Amino acid sequence: MGLPTGGPALIGNSSSVASRLALVGLALASGAALAAAAASTPDPVVGTTAQLKLVEAPPIVDGLSAEQQAEIAAKVAALRARRAPAKAKALPRFPFFPQAGVQGRDLFLINFTDLDPAPTSIRDWDCSDYTYDGHRGHDSMIRSFREQAIGVPIFAVLPGVVAATHDGEPDTNVTFDPRARANFVAVEHDGYTTYYLHMKLGSVAVSEGQQVAAGTQLGLTGSSGISTGPHLHLETHEGNQWREPSAGPCRDGESWWAAQPPVDRDLRVADFYLAPTAPDLDDNESFLRDETPRTGTFVRGRRLVGIRADLRNVPADASYRIRVLDPRGRVVYEESGSYGTSELFKLSLFAGALELPLDTLGSWRAKIEIEGSELIDAPFRVVASAAQAKNRKPNRIAARMAPARPVAGEVMTCVADGSPIAEDPDYDLVSYRYEWRVDNRLVRLVTSAATSDLLPADAAPPGSRVSCRVTPSDGKAAGTPAVARAVAEL
């Protein structure tokens, strides 16, 4: 590990500004927590800069216990026996991804099914390695247990009948325990079945035998059962056989998706915040809960500025540049180099703290480039006294309906567009309250951590006026609501 050194472009008394390395111990990415497994694993691969470290996070790994697999299969068989023989089986077409949020922004499809039967090798539908041995579904991560606590809804992807449910199990699992029981919902769609696994405790919102429309909320995202972090495992079956719904060079035939989600290999920022201290990453439990105090305000003087960026798909030996600019745009801190990592990190964390001479009042910026692109441009303010460090409400968002001209009888999506870096000027975690109205009647009200929400397919008759009002909140103050409107077309 390199010892701290002064940045090369410091203004003022640069020798004493030598930023201090805030130790990032064994760190786990938000939403990808694997504390117990980490205890038996060697130190994670780490790329070190003088002040901050890039740390690979343990992967999301999951499963369904043999007991629960048998339970679902038996209930699906019983349901099929009770119902009229299945109609001619048309291939299903999933019209949307059945989880609230936006893929690549606050949702990350990190694992697909493993199409390679050998126990020693893996292959996803796109002939790459976004899977792991024996995996039977699509894993879509949310950003943290804190988002899980607020709630990230899961929806029925097609209309159907609820075949099996289970609830009552603990939901913050971070280890692969083959006996752990999941909270789940399984829905039967005329010979096809979809499983939604690892739900949050107490969140299952439907009951066995219930008919559901596409887009009906089934439960909330969690980490119950065999699961190492909060995510949805979506598993699809044809008859009694699990299938990969996505088509590509390593999976022949038609896709089951109306708009197939790609394998996301792009470098992305999943989450970012500043903190008054170094993120406490030595303490796994604290880290998993992600309870480091966040801030966007520092009192004038020499201060420790904690930084945490949750990153996706950081290439091997990626280059970086960090700069901190004062209110006049002068570079007060700069450092660049390369992480020196030997492989792509699908999930990683870039975190630590800089000690900075914050001697100018006003609006500062911290900028982080990776591989030459500026991924993070994070504003913060410097004030004269702690009394001036008052909470600020979340930043403005815009609401839009997707599609812009929704069709009656189909699911409608309401998206809250805003900055993924600074959803809130104080870097507080933001929740979104979605109020859906059809012809002015409230039909769905939910507070979610996700930047989108769905209205079920049966909620808006042809010609009805649909509106979605989204209000962000940082838990202390509500931001300005944004409204999207549309008419449900025939």
Kindly tell me which residue out of 62, 167, 424, 453 binds Zn ion, with binding defined by CB under 5 A. 62
Select the span of 15-23, 39-47, 231-239, 383-391 touching Zn ion (CB under 5 A). Answer: 231-239
Among candidate residues 189, 194, 191, 184, the one with its CA nearest the CA of residue 161: 189
Select the span of 62-70, 116-124, 200-208, 430-438 touching Zn ion (CB under 5 A). Answer: 62-70
- Choose between 113 and 473: whose C-beta lies nearer to Zn ion: 113
User: Is 456 among the residues that bind Zn ion (CB under 5 A)?
Assistant: no
CB of 184 to Zn ion, least distance (A): 12
- Choose between 62 and 171: whose C-beta lies nearer to Zn ion: 62
Select the span of 134-142, 149-157, 292-300, 397-405 touching Zn ion (CB under 5 A). Answer: 134-142
User: Is 139 among the residues that bind Zn ion (CB under 5 A)?
Assistant: yes
- Choose between 56 and 62: whose C-beta lies nearer to Zn ion: 62
Residue nearest to Zn ion (CB): 233
Select the span of 211-219, 227-235, 396-404, 482-490 touching Zn ion (CB under 5 A). Answer: 227-235
User: Is 312 among the residues that bind Zn ion (CB under 5 A)?
Assistant: no
CB of 126 to Zn ion, least distance (A): 17
User: Is 167 among the residues that bind Zn ion (CB under 5 A)?
Assistant: no
- Choose between 242 and 257: whose C-beta lies nearer to Zn ion: 242
- Choose between 220 and 353: whose C-beta lies nearer to Zn ion: 220
User: Is 306 among the residues that bind Zn ion (CB under 5 A)?
Assistant: no
CB of 78 to Zn ion, least distance (A): 25
User: Is 294 among the residues that bind Zn ion (CB under 5 A)?
Assistant: no
User: Is 137 among the residues that bind Zn ion (CB under 5 A)?
Assistant: yes
Query: Strand 297-299 vs strand 373-383: parallel, antiparallel, or unpaired?
Result: parallel
What is the Cα–Cα distance from 59 to 139, expressed in whole angstroms? Answer: 11
CB of 137 to Zn ion, least distance (A): 4
CB of 132 to Zn ion, least distance (A): 9
User: Is 114 among the residues that bind Zn ion (CB under 5 A)?
Assistant: no
Select the span of 93-101, 132-140, 353-361, 447-455 touching Zn ion (CB under 5 A). Answer: 132-140
Identify the bridge partners of residue 309 per DSSP, sorted by sequence position.
272, 350
- Choose between 171 and 426: whose C-beta lies nearer to Zn ion: 171
User: Is 426 among the residues that bind Zn ion (CB under 5 A)?
Assistant: no
Select the span of 30-38, 43-51, 55-63, 238-246 touching Zn ion (CB under 5 A). Answer: 55-63
User: Is 160 among the residues that bind Zn ion (CB under 5 A)?
Assistant: no
Asked if residue 403 has a cis previous peptide bond (ω within 30° of 0), the answer is yes
Tokens representing residue 485 in the block: 């409107």
- Choose between 144 and 236: whose C-beta lies nearer to Zn ion: 236
CB of 248 to Zn ion, least distance (A): 19
What is the Cα–Cα distance from 68 to 459, expressed in whole angstroms? Answer: 33
- Choose between 137 and 296: whose C-beta lies nearer to Zn ion: 137
Count, residues in the chain: 490
Tokens representing residue 285 in the block: 């439990």
CB of 64 to Zn ion, least distance (A): 9
User: Is 190 among the residues that bind Zn ion (CB under 5 A)?
Assistant: no
Tokens representing residue 263 in the block: 């394998």
- Choose between 155 and 320: whose C-beta lies nearer to Zn ion: 155
What is the Cα–Cα distance from 281 to 289, expressed in whole angstroms? Answer: 11
CB of 113 to Zn ion, least distance (A): 9
CB of 455 to Zn ion, least distance (A): 27
User: Is 290 among the residues that bind Zn ion (CB under 5 A)?
Assistant: no
Kindly tell me which residue out of 146, 166, 181, 233 binds Zn ion, with binding defined by CB under 5 A. 233
Contact 228, 60 (CB under 8 A): yes
Applying CB under 5 A, the residues found at the interface with Zn ion are 62, 137, 139, 233
